[in-house]
Amino acid sequence: MKACANLNEQTKLNLLERVKELSCLYRIAHLAANAGTALGKVLEGITGILPSAWLYPDIACARIVLDGHSRSAKEYPKRVRHRQRTPIVIRNKRRGYVEISYVEEKPERDEGPFLNEERALLDAVANEIAVIIMRREAEQEKLNLEEQLRHADRLATIGQLAAGVAHELNEPLNHILGFAQLIKKSPGLPDQVQADVDKIVNSSFHAREIVRKLLVFSRQVSPQKTKVDLNYIVKNAIGLFESKCASDGIEFQCVLQPDLPKIDADPSQLHQVFVNLIVNAIQAMSKGGKITISTLKDQAKACLLVEDTGAGMGKNVLQKIFTPFFTTKDIGTGTGLGLPVVHGIVTAHGGSIKVASKVGKGTKCRIELPLKKRRSP
């Protein structure tokens, strides 16, 4: 009878343990089902649920380490008596681990400080965490792709609008400029009239430059490609700003690869790209700083890097820098077409541009251009 009673008691204890395990998994699934809860909060919530499923919940604590960041519902102790850990593996890559520990010593059990069932439960929880993370990352990738598609649609629409506006403005601008230049040649003009006509001519040239940028952005102007020495164009562009930079306390550093192969490109368009990038770097360093320009060969690509030690940009601004007419400059000091035009030119050359920036640290632009001409499909 005593043996039977002991067996019944053990069965009861085992059932209670299974109920605790199932309850733990259910609560984790319920927590993860709320798509509105941030992943970090979900992970913290899991660490708060886990101890209740262990034999000694009062002295148990849990944490999840993912991509080097530790998450825990409460402060995780620096010293523990016993530790149990299972890796979190996502797409065959170890991204972290889930860990549960006892902070105090308990009487030794035949199978050690942790039950075999608890080890199996921790494995199941690690697998569930991996599924949660994969699902969240897949959802985020989908959102990012949708936003990229919407952005591409907006750019296409703006490009069509820009091309139409540019073509409509070209003719009246040419008339204004032509007649202003005729008036300027008239003899005996008063000084004030001469000054006003000069303003009309200069403003017309400025407007025509904006129209040209619109046409480049909308890809109405095809690159006229020849064999181009990238280093030569970089040196010419730098030469335009050396005196200004010297007076503004801005230092230039050039690291140009001497044996860089020539590329198929439009020299005037590439010159415009470098000038725009240098102007942006200068404007970001009102109190002086350093601009580092590098060229190098990376496999089948020629690379240009422009790095400054200026004010830098936050994430919200960085996401919009290639959006036409977006500018952080004061009204009248920028058109918001500089970087969109740069992006358009680089793309038209079959290349790519990447920009990284940190507020207070500066900005780094990397342009990659193909060394070999791509075959037409």
Question: Amino acid letter at 244?
Answer: K
β-partners of residue 352 are 368
Q: How confident is the prediction along the chain (377 residues), in pLDDT tens digits per residue?
A: 555 455 455 555 555 666 677 777 778 887 777 777 888 888 888 888 888 888 788 888 888 989 888 888 788 877 778 888 899 999 889 999 998 888 777 655 545 677 777 888 888 888 888 988 888 888 888 887 777 666 655 655 665 666 666 666 777 877 888 888 888 888 888 888 888 888 888 888 777 777 766 666 555 556 778 898 999 988 888 887 887 788 888 888 889 998 899 999 888 888 888 888 888 888 888 888 999 999 999 888 999 999 999 888 888 888 778 776 666 655 445 555 678 778 888 888 889 999 999 888 899 999 999 987 555 44
- Confidence at residue 189, expressed as pLDDT on a 0 to 100 scale: 82
- Confidence at residue 376, expressed as pLDDT on a 0 to 100 scale: 45
**pTM of the complete model:** 0.47
Sheet with 69-71: strands ordered across: 69-71, 60-66, 93-102, 82-90
| Domain 1-140 classification at class level | alpha beta
Q: Which of these, 96, 118, 107, lies nearest to 52 by C-alpha position?
A: 118
- Confidence at residue 377, expressed as pLDDT on a 0 to 100 scale: 44
- Confidence at residue 32, expressed as pLDDT on a 0 to 100 scale: 78
CATH of span 223-376: 3.30.565.10
**What residues does each domain of the chain span?**
1-140, 223-376
Sheet with 362-370: strands ordered across: 250-256, 289-298, 301-308, 362-370, 352-358
Q: Which of these, 197, 194, 201, lies nearest to 177 by C-alpha position?
A: 201
1-140 and 223-376 have identical folds? no
Q: How far apart are the first and last CA of the chain?
A: 86
CA distance 357 to 315: 8
CB 270 within 8 A of CB 230: yes
Judging by beta carbons within 10 Å of its beta carbon (0-12, 13-18, 19+), is residue 172 exposed, middle or buried?
Answer: exposed
CB 64 within 8 A of CB 47: yes
